[in-house]
Amino acid sequence: MKRSLGSLLLLLFYSTLAWSEDFSHSFTVDNYQPYVKEAVLLKLEIKQTNHDKVLFFNFNLEKSPNYHFQRVAIKEQGKNHFAYRQYSYLIYPLKAGKVNLHFKLQKRATTDESISYSYSGDRDNVKGLVTMYSDIHLSPVTLEVKALPKGTELVGNFKLQHQFLTHHAKAYQAIPFEVEIQGHGYPPLLKNILLSENNITLFKEQPLIKSASSIKGTENTISYSMALSSSKSFSLKERDIKVFNPKTQTNYVLTLPQQDFTIEPIKPSSLVDKEDFPKPLKSDFSWLSNFFSYFIVFVAGYLTALAQQWKEKSKPKTEHPLYRKIKKSKNAKELLQLLMANNQDAFKTTIEALENLIYNKSKTSFKSIKEALETEIKEMD
């Protein structure tokens, strides 16, 4: 009865509908009875029902040692008065039995005026959005987590690849090798990928983990880089990793086959370093190129500064912008017009002289006025 109810629940779309003051929300869980470390997709939909307010939401799961979770998608539609949010999470239960998923939901209410105010001002006058925070209590969602078959090390659909660079080496020489586990499921992290052997020294790095989660689950590529060394020939026993695939509900084994290594013994005396000051493998003259590059930069800077000085000295004296125009002017009216347009106050006397010449018919000649002006302009330079 429990089984049939459980499988029925697996197929059925379960949602929790609850009405709070301003919005409705519903949970969707694709599997309420997963195995340990089997991916469960949880979705939360929030729809604003009170359209008088402007609402924002903050949602997340509470951390727990009983499950691991990751947000894989968030859909935000509708603005201001018609907020719609859909949060999608991938959850991996980590223990068998009842596992309660706890949530944190925060509602932020504000008004159109507050939003307008927050957008007003400029980059030097940034205004924060004033909102009323309120924490919303959401009932926990319970998963009935099934235990894994005994001896299971990984959960998912994986394949194993391995690569040994050599099977022959000298005594104490490192033999590098790499094991890669790739596939879909809970990240295939193993504490010990090799069984411990006597007389072998194992060097290992932190595994390189590449995991990408989506609503379809988690794609993983985990690389274990290691090296072995020994003083005599040895064999690595076959390593079987038990895997359970919850989708097909089947067990299978990933195998790292037996490996035999031939080690060439060497005299212990040859391992001892006898030279106190060994000659460098190659001479390093990079300091010389550094020195020359700095020297060239210094000389270039010095010459530029000198050139600037020479340029200043050899610069021809600029003539007054009006000089040529004054020279070109043919009669008193033309010259008066030119002076009227440009800085009249500096040429008050000349303007008066020209006015007298044009309108009062004074005896001063245009030529003498022009020459006096040219001299005046030259002195201005």
Partner 1 sequence: MNTKITQLKNELSKAVIGQENMIEALIIGLLCEGHILIEGVPGLAKTTTVNALSQALGLNSKRIQFTPDLLPSDIIGAEIYNPKEHSFSIKKGAVFTHLLLADEINRAPAKVQSALLEVMQERQITIGDTSFKLEAPFLVMATQNPIEQEGIYALPEAQLDRFMMKILVKHNSQEEELAIMKKGAKKSFESVNTVLNKEDLQELQKELENIHIDDAIERYMVQLITATREPKKFNLDSDNIMYGASPRASIDLYKASRAKAFLRGNDFVSPADIGYVIHDVLRHRIVLSYEARAKGITSDEIISKIVETLPIP
Tokens 């709070």, located at residue: 20
Per rule CB under 8 A, is residue 260 in the interface with partner 1? no
* DSSP per-residue letters across 214-266: ETTEEEEEEEEEEEEE-SS-EEEPPEEEEEEETTTTEEEEEEE--EEEEEE--
Name 110's bridge partners. 54
Q: Which of 243, 195, 249, 194 is nearest to 220 (CA)?
A: 243
CB of 380 to partner 1, least distance (A): 14
Q: How many CB atoms lie within 10 A of CB 103?
A: 20
Q: For residues 143 and 354, which CB has a smaller minimum distance to partner 1 in the complex?
A: 354
Q: For residues 134 and 337, which CB has a smaller minimum distance to partner 1 in the complex?
A: 337
Q: For residues 267 and 330, which CB has a smaller minimum distance to partner 1 in the complex?
A: 330
Among 166, 235, 262, 344, binds partner 1 (CB under 8 A): 344
**What CA–CA distance (Å, rounded) separates 201 from 229?**
5
CB-CB contact of 37 with 94 (8 Å) = yes
CB of 324 to partner 1, least distance (A): 13
Q: For residues 58 and 337, which CB has a smaller minimum distance to partner 1 in the complex?
A: 337
Per rule CB under 8 A, is residue 212 in the interface with partner 1? no
- One-letter amino acid of 225: S
CB of 326 to partner 1, least distance (A): 12
CB of 325 to partner 1, least distance (A): 8
CB of 320 to partner 1, least distance (A): 15
CB of 113 to partner 1, least distance (A): 21
From 94-102, 300-308, 351-359, 361-369, span contacting partner 1 (CB under 8 A): 351-359
Q: For residues 90 and 336, which CB has a smaller minimum distance to partner 1 in the complex?
A: 336
CB of 332 to partner 1, least distance (A): 10
Q: How many CB atoms lie within 10 A of CB 143?
A: 23
- Counting residues that bind partner 1 (by CB under 8 A) gives 15
Q: For residues 97 and 121, which CB has a smaller minimum distance to partner 1 in the complex?
A: 121
Q: In this structure, what token pair is assigned to residue 331?
A: 């009669």
Per rule CB under 8 A, is residue 379 in the interface with partner 1? no
CB-CB contact of 8 with 31 (8 Å) = no
* DSSP per-residue letters across 42-91: EEEEEEE--TTSEEEEEEEEPPBTTEEEEEEEEEEES-GGG-EEEEEEEE
CB-CB contact of 239 with 153 (8 Å) = no
Task: Give the x/- contact pattern for partner 1 in 359-378, rule: CB under 8 A.
Answer: x-------------------
From 180-188, 236-244, 258-266, 354-362, span contacting partner 1 (CB under 8 A): 354-362
Nearest 5°: the CA angle 359, 365, 367 is: 120
**What CA–CA distance (Å, rounded) separates 362 from 212?**
97
CB-CB contact of 10 with 31 (8 Å) = yes
**What CA–CA distance (Å, rounded) separates 307 from 180?**
65
**What CA–CA distance (Å, rounded) separates 81 from 264?**
78
CB of 371 to partner 1, least distance (A): 20
Q: For residues 89 and 347, which CB has a smaller minimum distance to partner 1 in the complex?
A: 347
Task: Give the x/- contact pattern for partner 1 in 76-95, rule: CB under 8 A.
Answer: --------------------
Per rule CB under 8 A, is residue 171 in the interface with partner 1? no
Q: For residues 76 and 352, which CB has a smaller minimum distance to partner 1 in the complex?
A: 352
Per rule CB under 8 A, is residue 345 in the interface with partner 1? yes
CB of 347 to partner 1, least distance (A): 10
Site for partner 1 in 314-343 (CB under 8 A): 333, 336-342
How far is residue 14 from each of residues 27, 32, 141, measured CA to CA in Å? 7, 9, 11
Length of the chain in residues, anyone?
381
Among 151, 355, 364, 378, binds partner 1 (CB under 8 A): 355
Q: For residues 337 and 375, which CB has a smaller minimum distance to partner 1 in the complex?
A: 337
Given the rule CB under 8 A, which residues bind partner 1? 333, 336-342, 344-345, 351-352, 354-355, 359
